[in-house]
Amino acid sequence: MMELARLPLVGEVVEEGLKSGLSTLIRCNPLVDGSIFTYQLCYAWLNEGNPVIYYVNNKRTDIVVEDFKRYGWDVGKPLEERKLIFIDAYSAILGLTSSEPYVVKDAFNLKQISETLVKAVREVEGRKLLVVDSLSTLLDYFETEVLGYVTSWNKLAPVYGFVPLYLFTDWGYGPEIKDKLIELCDNVIDMRALEKSVVATEVFTVQKLAGKPVEKPVVPFKYVRPGGLKIYIPKILITGPYHAGKTTVVHALSTRAVSVQRGETTVALDFGHLEYKGFSADLFGTIGQQRFDPILEQLGGESVGVILVVDSTKPETFPRALEMLRKARVYGLPTVVFANKQDLPGALSPEEVKERMKLPPEVPVIGTVATRKDRIIEGLEILLKQIFGK
Ligand SMILES: Nc1nc2c(ncn2[C@@H]2O[C@H](COP(=O)(O)OP(=O)(O)O)[C@@H](O)[C@H]2O)c(=O)[nH]1
Ligand SMILES: [Mg+2]
């Protein structure tokens, strides 16, 4: 759970939620696929050496295994070692036989389903995650009758040492179902799509943690293959005066980067994309020259955080650097200043840069050498902390 545990909100779900809570509801609107995140939690759980019991009633178990693989999580070994154990409630619907350890022969018999679940959690040893994929399908078949079973499974959880995780897609159930589910579960995670102009952003948040209602920020995410759920930062703006090292920084941070050259030489827009420790971010570099200032505001729009790059040997450009922040309308957003070119003689120290720029005390200034990638990643981590406050 190492990487997951460090992510904002996801970390709380894992640390305070899954580990201490009795039951977790992953509630998705139909535009968002919660199963990938569920697989990711399963994989992390397995990696800690604990077993996962996976009840599935809406797809074949080999499809689940393939999906795991598509995101980079090879579960061959856990399957072989009986750490990942399926309860197959789907094959029977298709009239197929199943070779999984647990099979529900009559998928339309809720009592039989429950008995099979309980048998599995009793027989499998260790601290188990019991995934119910999906609760919505159960509700479609059995309606409110399911709620009584959820209640009893949650009650059994501490008795048999398992943690129930319900995957629930909200296809428009009534409040008698929706509200009751929130009441029944200790952790409630919401995943939904935000429509913002034409681009929909997928976000998630937590409504309830370890039994208590909580108010948490909405965190954007993206599914990446391989890797699964990543915290998504749609825009980090990299700005600063001409020749300060912006292009070099975008390239140093990017897993993929393109520079769009226009005209002869100097005009270049830099776009980069970054995958880092569970984060996925798009980077937008600006142009330094004053005559392109009209574009600055457009580029700055919807930025989530800013890296301001300055040449530490050129204090005369510092006022221009601050002006760029204002023109891009990103002044006041989470910002880190890269006091770049620390390798050159006469470079001002980060402290001196901070003083000369008269930056607010909370804005961190860090000495970098972009050409050598010195302290670039550290700067990024500081920015992520500024953005997510963690
Ligand atoms: N010595 C030194 N040169 C750097 C550093 N960062 C960038 N440069 C050089 O400075 C010049 C301008 O860099 P560039 O990234 O194109 O600046 P931009 O105009 O802000 O995009 C290039 O020749 C870079 O190789 C640094 O940390 N140290
Ligand atoms: Mg450039």
Give dist(CA 296, CA 248) in Å, integer.
Answer: 19
Question: Does this model's pTM top 0.85?
Answer: no
Q: How far apart are CA 77 and CA 217, in angstroms?
A: 37
Q: Supply the pLDDT for residue 329.
A: 86
Whole-number Å distance between alpha carbons of 25 and 186: 8
Tell me how far the alpha carbon of residue 132 lies from the centroid of ligand 2, in angstroms.
Answer: 51
Amino acid 265: pLDDT: 46
Are the CB atoms for 212 and 1 separated by under 8 Å? no
Ligand nearest to the CA of 259: 2
As beta bridge partners, residue 168 has 27
CA distance 218 to 239: 26
Contact 339 CB / ligand 1 (< 6 Å):
no
* Number of CB atoms found within 10 A of residue 315's CB: 15
Q: Ligand 1: does its nearest atom lie under 6 Å from the Cβ of 371?
A: yes
d(CA 13, CA 38): 12
Distance CA 143, CA 145 (A): 5
Pocket lining: 242 vs ligand 1, CB cutoff 6 Å: yes
Cα dihedral 38→42→47→52 (10° resolution): 180
Mutate to test the pocket of ligand 1, among 258, 270, 366, 371 (most ligand atoms within 8 A of CB): 371
293 vs 105: CA distance, rounded Å: 68
Q: Is the CB of 248 under 6 A from ligand 1?
A: yes
Query: Helix, strand or coil for residue 373?
Result: coil
What domains sit in the chain, N to C, each tagged with a CATH number?
2-226 (3.40.50.300), 232-388 (3.40.50.300)
Ligand in closest contact with the CA of 262? 2
Question: How many Cβ atoms from other residues are within 10 Å of residue 245's Cβ?
Answer: 23
Residue 234, preceding peptide bond in cis (omega within 30° of 0):
no
Amino acid 360: pLDDT: 84
Nearest atom (ligand 1) to Cα of 285: 21
4 Cβ contact partners less than 8 Å away, ≥ 6 residues apart = 10, 11, 14, 40, 41, 44, 278
Decide if 377 contacts 316 (C-beta within 8 A). no
Q: What is residue 124's predicted lDDT score, i.e. its pLDDT?
A: 97
**Residue 296 CA to ligand 1 centre (angstroms):** 20
**Distant-in-sequence, close-in-space partners of 115: CB < 8 Å, separation ≥ 6:** none
d(CA 147, CA 173): 13
**267 CA → ligand 2 middle, Å:** 7
Tell how far the Cα of 348 is from the centroid of ligand 1, in angstroms.
16
Is the CB of 343 inside a 6 Å radius of any atom of ligand 1?
yes
Query: How high is the mean pLDDT in each 10-residue block of the chain (390 residues)?
Result: 76 79 88 90 93 95 93 95 96 89 94 98 96 94 95 95 94 91 94 66 88 88 88 92 93 75 56 89 85 78 92 95 89 94 98 92 95 96 87
In short, whether 69's Cβ falls inside 6 Å of ligand 1 is no
Closest-CA residue to 156 (of 100, 118, 127, 125): 118
CB of 369 sitting under 6 A from ligand 1: yes
Supply the residue whose CA is at minimum distance from atom 9 of ligand 1.
Answer: 245
Q: How far is the CA of 77 from the centre of ligand 1 (A)?
A: 48
Contact present, 228 and 68 (Cβ < 8 Å): no
What SS3 state is found at 239?
strand
Q: What is the pLDDT of residue 331?
A: 84
How far, in Å, is the centroid of ligand 2 from the Cα of 265? 10
Nearest to 135 by CA among 120, 149, 121: 149
Which atom of ligand 1 sits closest to the CA of residue 243? 19
- Taking the centre of ligand 2 as the mean of its atom positions, its distance from the CA of residue 240, in whole angstroms, is 9
- Measure the CA–CA gap between 360 and 337, rounded to whole angstroms: 11
Neighbours of 180 (CB within 10 A): 17
Q: How far is ligand 2, taken at its centre, from the CA of residue 245, in Å?
A: 7
What local confidence, expressed as pLDDT, does residue 266 receive?
Answer: 46
- Among the listed residues 140, 224, 164, 213, the one whose alpha carbon sits nearest the alpha carbon of residue 21: 164
Sorted by sequence, the CB contacts under 8 Å of residue 262 that are 6+ apart come out as: 268, 269
User: Residue 134, preceding bond cis, omega within 30 degrees?
Assistant: yes
Give dist(CA 261, CA 193) in Å, integer.
34
Contact (Cβ atoms closer than 8 angstroms) between residue 237 and residue 330: yes
- Report which ligand 1 atom has the smallest distance to the Cα of 342: 27
The DSSP H or E segment spanning 88 is strand 84-88
Nearest ligand to residue 268 Cα: 2
